[in-house]
Structure 1
Amino acid sequence: MTTELAATVVADVRHWLEQAVIGLNLCPFAKATYVKEQVHYAVCGAQTEDEALQAVHDELIALMETPMEERETTLMIFPAMFDDFLYFNDFAGAADDILADLGLEGELQIAYFHPRFQFDGTEPEEISNATNWAPYPILHLLREESIDRAVETYPEVDDIPDRNIELLEHLGVEGWNKLGIVTRVSADEWVKQCPVHGQAPADDAQDKHEGEDHHG
Structure 2
Amino acid sequence: MKHTNATYIAQTRCWLENVVLKHNLCPFAHKPFKGGQIRFVVTDSARPEFLLEDLQHELEQLRATPVEEVETTLLIHPGTLEDFHDYNDFLDLVDALLVEGGFEGEFQVASFHPDYQFDGTRPNDAENYTNRSPWPMLHLIREDSLEQAVASYPDVDAIPERNIDTMNTLGTAHHRKVLETCLQTGKATE
Return the offset for 1:181.
3.2
User: Partners in 2 of 1:146 and 1:171 — Cα distance?
Assistant: 30
2:63 corresponds to 1:68: no
Return the offset for 1:155.
2.5
TM-score by length of 1: 0.80
Q: 2:26 — aligned with what?
A: 27
User: Partners in 2 of 1:155 and 1:146 — Cα distance?
Assistant: 16
Gaps of 5+ in 1: 184-216
Q: Give aligned pairs, total.
A: 181
Gaps of 5+ in 2: 185-190
User: Partners in 2 of 1:57 and 1:170 — Cα distance?
Assistant: 38
TM-score by length of 2: 0.91
User: Partners in 2 of 1:172 and 1:64 — Cα distance?
Assistant: 38
User: Partners in 2 of 1:174 and 1:118 — Cα distance?
Assistant: 16
User: Partners in 2 of 1:50 and 1:177 — Cα distance?
Assistant: 31
Q: 1:51 — aligned with what?
A: 50
Give the alignment of 1:151-162 within 5 angstroms. 151-162=150-161
Work out whether residues 59 and 140 of structure 2, in 8 Å CA contact, stay in contact via their aligned partners in 1: yes
Return the offset for 1:85.
0.6
Identity %: 43
Work out whether residues 46 and 81 of structure 1, in 8 Å CA contact, stay in contact via their aligned partners in 2: yes
User: Partners in 1 of 2:130 and 2:157 — Cα distance?
Assistant: 15
The two structures, once aligned, show a CA RMSD in angstroms of 1.5
Q: 1:41 — aligned with what?
A: 40
Between structure 1 and structure 2, the one with the greater Rg is 1
Larger RCO, structures 1/2 (Cα 8 Å, 6+ apart): 2
Give the alignment of 1:1-216 within 5 angstroms. 5-179=4-178, 180-182=181-183
Q: Any idea what SS the aligned residue of 1:115 has?
A: coil
Instruction: Report the residue type matching 1:181 in the other structure.
Output: C
Work out whether residues 48 and 81 of structure 2, in 8 Å CA contact, stay in contact via their aligned partners in 1: no
